[in-house]
Amino acid sequence: MAAEEAGGVGQASACLCVLCGLPAAGKSTLAREVFRTAAQHGWRAGVVVYDDLIPEHAFQTRVVEEGADLQKMQTEWKSHRQAVLRSIEQFLEKPKVLAELPSSCQINKAAWERCIRALLQPEVLDHSQADQAPLLFLLDDNFYYPSMRYEVYQLARKCSLGFCQVYLQCDLESCMSRNQSRSEPIPTEVMLEMVKRLESPNPQKNSWETNSIMLNATDDFTKCDIQRVMELISSAVSNPLSPAEDNTEQKEADRVKCATSVVHQTDQACRRHISEAMKTARDNQVPPVQMRALAAQLNESKATFLHNLRRQLLQETSFIQEDIDVERVVKRAVDIFDCEKKEILSRITNENK
């Protein structure tokens, strides 16, 4: 249900801005700066700090240290994250219902009230226009997996909101140094594990991450950095997602379906070329040992070729079923493999002479 239909934010525009990066990269600092600037622009802004909203025992890193069941831990942690997004959705539908979170709610009620207080009592320049001032949610969390960010995107699309992402690039050494200065630093092993897991926004791979920017957070944020973020948010506010028009998921499904079809047909054709190569080798009386080597090299070459082909097809932003001639793509791919096959066959047969 769109926010307008729910009778919540009325005609006011709204945006969900994801701030992601390593712990101690500077997300909270950036959130404060953007919050202050948004207020100066007459916007209603709220900082959604996951560390404050989600109970400490639910965090994945802390539970792993205690040796708890991994599957159970992941399920609990994910349910708390989803509770944060449900609370945002509820606020968009009924912004005046501040204290009506259900008793079973999985987020900290006091922290949530602090989060949305500025949204209900904005310091806008013109108080008569407060209800129509744009709404901005700054989501402060590591968001190290794309799936975590995608859940926010889905909510934005469901409610016809703006959506954008700011990735804070900061070297591990700086993050570690800042982390140690905290009153409750995150364990070093957790920081190292986070580096391995972090997948930054990738618009080339995920088209829904197009509205993203990266900031160098190793040094202090500049006025130019804040201006870039505000321009990104302004663009997102002006271009809300639409459930009816946004068909990213369908396009991605079509892309995968078409790529699978191309790879499958290419695989079948390559198999025939390998059979022909083996027959040619037998006709040239290639010894059994070299025949086995030929078969192994051809099959290894085919496997690598098909893997690279599929990866290339999925990375092509314009590659969807309705836009291409599958037969032509398959023929071009097979021609390339045929050249590789001939080189391998020639090498093996020459060794036999």
What contacts 164, CB < 8 A, 6 or more positions away?
15, 16, 17, 18, 211, 212, 213, 232, 233, 235, 236
Per-residue pLDDT at 223: 94
Phi, psi (deg, nearest 5) at residue 93: -80, -40
Mean pLDDT (whole number) for 2-23: 69
What contacts 161, CB < 8 A, 6 or more positions away?
3, 14, 15, 16, 92, 155, 240, 241
C-alpha of 336 from chain center: 33
CA distance 50 to 81: 8
User: Which residue type does 324 have?
Assistant: I
Percent of the chain residues past pLDDT 70, beyond the cut: 78
Q: Are 201 and 19 contacting, i.e. CB atoms less than 8 angstroms apart?
A: no
Q: Check pLDDT > 50 for residue 62.
A: no
Q: Check pLDDT > 80 for residue 187.
A: yes
Q: Check pLDDT > 70 for residue 130.
A: no
Per-residue pLDDT at 258: 78
Counting every residue written for the chain, the total comes to 353
CA distances from 183 to 26, 53, 209, 306 (A): 16, 18, 34, 52
Per-residue pLDDT at 175: 93
User: Which residue type does 176 have?
Assistant: M
Q: Check pLDDT > 50 for residue 267.
A: yes
Bridge partners (DSSP) of residue 211 are: none
Per-residue pLDDT at 97: 57
Which of 168 and 3 is assigned the larger pLDDT? 168
For 221-234, give the DSSP string.
Answer: PPHHHHHHHHHHHH
CB count within 10 Å of CB 180 equals 12
Query: Mean pLDDT in the chain?
Result: 81
Bridge partners (DSSP) of residue 137 are: 16, 46
* CA R_g for the chain: 27
CA distance 246 to 214: 24
The three-state secondary structure class of 183 is coil
Phi, psi (deg, nearest 5) at residue 204: -70, -35
Per-residue pLDDT at 57: 63
Which residue do the tokens 């505000």 mark?
230
CB count within 10 Å of CB 232 equals 19
Classify the phi-psi angles of 164: left when phi > 0, otherwise alpha if psi is within -120 to 50, otherwise beta: beta
Q: Check pLDDT > 70 for residue 73.
A: no
Which of 192 and 61 is assigned the larger pLDDT? 192
Residue 4 pLDDT level (bands cut at 50, 70, 90): very low
Domain ranges of the chain: 14-246, 249-351
Phi, psi (deg, nearest 5) at residue 51: -60, -35
What contacts 274, CB < 8 A, 6 or more positions away?
295, 298, 299, 302, 341
Dihedral of CA 64/68/69/74: which sign?
Answer: negative
**Which helix H or strand E contains 215, and what residues bound it?**
strand 212-216
Largest CA distance in the chain: 92
CA distances from 333 to 97, 183, 256 (A): 59, 58, 17
Q: Check pLDDT > 50 for residue 16.
A: yes
CA distances from 130 to 22, 162, 233, 333 (A): 35, 19, 19, 59
CATH of region 14-246: 3.40.50.300
